[in-house]
Amino acid sequence: MIRSMTGFGEATMDVAPVHYAVEVRSINNKFYKAAIRLPEELEGLEAEIDARLRRRLNRGSITLKVRISDPTASAAYRINIEALQSYIERLGQLPHDVGRPVPIDVAALIQLPGVLQPPTDFESRIERAKPIIHQLIDLACDRLIEMRDREGAMLYEDLHRHYRAICERLERISQRTPVVVEEYHLRLRQRIESMLRDATVHVNETDLVREVAIYAERSDIAEEITRLNAHLSQFRDLIDRKNGEPVGRTLDFLAQELLREANTIASKSNDAPISREIVEVKGAIDRIKEQVQNVE
């Protein structure tokens, strides 16, 4: 069954006294693209988290957020007093150098290199957090995929409805095609006979047949109908596929091919009933093109 690229999943876990939370969101994209937002202490895990996401999600713009809340004092960063004092002393000399007072922003001072130091058990905290984060990512991805599957089921119904509509109209076009040449032959004969009714000129039957043959060749849409049917068969096989493989790009390509053949039929046919049917076919294909943009 096809799967949507739009979804959301979250997972949380409390390992006293720490609270862990992971959110994963996805929207449609031609390729896989991930934006991973981690707490500062976990930024070194970005590459392996990205690899984990790639194994679960093949396509789409993915946003992953990880939050860690630790209310204990041991989680706080330490202030390096010596480094801070050194910065303050240097800033204290600036008024003499520039000849005017220089305001000191404490918040900016804290951000200077070397002022904030990680907790003493920084490495062990990361090691404890890593398996928990991996587990929560898998849970969040499971829930996101469930949502993608639900939306994919709705996409499937809509795509199948448009597919059936195209097949029905294409069948009517196929039935109408041989009648078009016969009607042209009859109209041509009647028009010529009307023009020459009062004349003594005789119309050569061979010339009339030749003219009809040229018209039939010029307006022949049998090849286009055959290719359209072949593309529709492949389209049905793809949306009915059960192995879970991404088919969105192939469906997008097929929709373009369907529209190309429909446009050719529209340009070659001079028959009003066929023209009306092909307009509806093109409308259904356009709706398919819109929908497959969100298929994984």
CA distance 274 to 219: 11
What integer is the mean pLDDT of 27-50? Answer: 90
From 132, 149, 166, the end of a domain falls on 149
Residue 40: pLDDT band (50, 70, 90) is: confident
Where residue 20 sits, what CATH number does that domain have? 3.30.230
Residue 128 vs residue 91, higher pLDDT: 128
Q: Supply the pLDDT for residue 290.
A: 92
Categorise residue 60: left if φ over 0, alpha if ψ from -120 to 50, beta otherwise.
left
**Domain shared by 59 and 31, yes or no:** yes
Q: Name beta bridge partners: 260.
A: none
Residue pointed to by tokens 């001079």: 270
Highest mean pLDDT out of 16-30, 174-188, 213-227: 16-30
**In-domain check, residue 185:** yes
Q: Supply the pLDDT for residue 214.
A: 53
Sign of the CA dihedral running 90, 95, 99, 102: positive
What integer is the mean pLDDT of 224-238? Answer: 91
**Domain shared by 233 and 168, yes or no:** yes
**Domain shared by 208 and 277, yes or no:** yes
**In-domain check, residue 62:** yes
Sign of the CA dihedral running 102, 108, 113, 117: positive
Q: 176: domain range?
A: 151-292
**In-domain check, residue 2:** no
From 116, 137, 168, the end of a domain falls on 116
The SS3 assignment for 20 reads: strand
Q: Supply the pLDDT for residue 84.
A: 72
**Domain shared by 97 and 70, yes or no:** no
**Domain shared by 107 and 208, yes or no:** no
The pTM (predicted TM-score) of the whole model is: 0.71
Residue 186: pLDDT band (50, 70, 90) is: low
For residues 157 and 163, the answer to whether their CB atoms sit within 8 Å is no
For residues 21 and 10, the answer to whether their CB atoms sit within 8 Å is yes
**Domain shared by 106 and 165, yes or no:** no
**Domain shared by 186 and 230, yes or no:** yes
Q: Is the pLDDT of residue 155 over 90?
A: yes
**In-domain check, residue 260:** yes
Residue pointed to by tokens 């039929």: 265
Q: Where is average pLDDT lowest: 52-61, 165-174, 214-223?
A: 214-223
Q: Name beta bridge partners: 116.
A: 79
Q: Supply the pLDDT for residue 193.
A: 55
**Domain shared by 110 and 195, yes or no:** no
CA distance 52 to 231: 35
Note the pLDDT tens digit of each residue in 48-97: 999 999 999 989 999 999 998 876 655 556 676 777 777 777 777 766 66
Note the pLDDT tens digit of each residue in 248-288: 999 999 999 999 999 988 877 777 888 889 999 999 999 99
**In-domain check, residue 1:** no
**Domain shared by 128 and 199, yes or no:** no
Tokens encoding 116: 């904030």
Q: Which strand (E) or helix (H) includes residue 177?
A: helix 122-195
Residue 206 vs residue 208, higher pLDDT: 206
Q: How many Cβ atoms are within 10 Å of 198's Cβ, its own excluded?
A: 6
DSSP 74-88: GGSPEE-HHHHHHHH
Q: Supply the pLDDT for residue 75.
A: 55
Q: Nearest CA to 66 among 122, 119, 135?
A: 135
Q: Supply the pLDDT for residue 36.
A: 95
**Domain shared by 177 and 211, yes or no:** yes
Residue 275 vs residue 133, higher pLDDT: 133
Q: Supply the pLDDT for residue 269.
A: 75
Q: Nearest CA to 144 among 13, 25, 295, 293?
A: 25
What integer is the mean pLDDT of 119-138? Answer: 82
CA distance 253 to 148: 22
What average pLDDT does the chain have? 81
CA distance 182 to 231: 29
Q: Supply the pLDDT for residue 118.
A: 63
**Domain shared by 235 and 222, yes or no:** yes
% of the chain surpassing 70 pLDDT: 76
Tokens encoding 18: 């720490």
Tokens encoding 178: 């041989």
Total domains present in the chain: 3
**Domain shared by 85 and 38, yes or no:** no
